[in-house]
A and B are shown apart, each in its own frame.
Chain A
Amino acid sequence: MSIFDRLWNALRPNRLNDEIRQELETHFALIEEEEEARGLTPDDARVRARQRFGNTGAYRDKTRDVDLASWLDSFRQDLRFASRQLGKSPGFAISAVLLLALGIGLNAAIFTIINSVILRSLPLPEPERLAIVEEQQGVFQTPPSWPDQLDLREANRVFQSTGASVADQISSFD
């Protein structure tokens, strides 16, 4: 079993359980088939299979424990190996950790901005009915000035109401 299989198994213990269950079930079914071929009724064959195989649940647990124990063992070895390697070259270890910290921090910062500006919709009912009004002055697109916004509000016949917002902070709405 490769380290990836082991990792996968540890993350998805259900999959490991399913595989072991499948394996034992096949064996059990084959015994039943054999006993039925000898002339036993399906019920008797099942009883006989139970005698021959032993306690399915107990063997399933035992088998899973064997796999998990060996996985934990190799995980511990990998961990020890990794820390020993890092301890050998502390300069590399420190710069790797700093670089990771920087990268993760930058990611978190950028996500925070994107989340508030783009991803999170305005805290209003029915945000899908919102429209953004902007002014075009030559090549520049600018938000309307405050007096213009007051005019827009007075003359508005298209929208139910108008408001102004800076970034994601709503300053006025009615």
Chain B
Amino acid sequence: MSAKHQNDRLQGTLDLLILKVLARSGPMHGYAIAHRIHQATDDTLRIEEGSLYPALHRMTNAKWLRAEWGTTETNRKARLYKITPAGRRQLEEEEQRWTQLTNAVWKALRFA
């Protein structure tokens, strides 16, 4: 995932990860979200951290997230993102779709 996100599936994956991270915690800024994704995936997914921002803004405009200005622990101005109820519904759908897809691939790998 280190390359570009022109592929819909990959872009969807980034959305899914962001939603999942935010669903499990309070408001977070982009750096913290990137950190959490790296941690949770044992650094397997190398995302250019800047690529979070087009995604975060797109998702905010789609009302899946809400953004507010706040400060970091070291007193820097940061935009903090929070998941909305619409975002939770989206997360559920995407999680389902993801599971279906990976199950299908998994089956194909075992039995094909």
Interface residues of A (CB under 8 A from B): 1, 19-20, 22-24, 26-27, 29-31, 33, 52-56, 58-60, 62-63, 65-67, 70
Total residue contacts A-B, CB cutoff 8 A: 67
Main secondary structure of the interface of A (DSSP, over half): helix
Interface size on B, residues (CB 8 A): 21
Main secondary structure of the interface of B (DSSP, over half): helix
> Are A26 and B61 interface neighbours, CB within 8 A?
no
> Are B61 and A59 interface neighbours, CB within 8 A?
no
What is the bound-complex CA distance between A63 and B79, given in angstroms? 14
> Are B57 and A31 interface neighbours, CB within 8 A?
no
Residue of B nearest to A71 (CB): B61
List residues 60-82 of chain B with CB under 8 A from any CB of chain A.
60-62, 72, 74, 76-79
> Are B48 and A66 interface neighbours, CB within 8 A?
no
> Can you list 5 residue pairs at the A/B interface with Cβ under 8 Å?
A1-B60, A24-B53, A26-B77, A54-B51, A62-B53
What is the bound-complex CA distance between A62 and B51, given in angstroms? 9
**Which of B53, B62, B74, B76 has the most chain A CB atoms inside 10 A of its CB?**
B53
Tell me the smallest distance from the CB of B101 to a CB of chain A, in Å: 25
B54 part of interface (Cβ distance < 8 Å): yes
> Are B49 and A63 interface neighbours, CB within 8 A?
no
> Are A54 and B30 interface neighbours, CB within 8 A?
no
> Are B76 and A30 interface neighbours, CB within 8 A?
yes
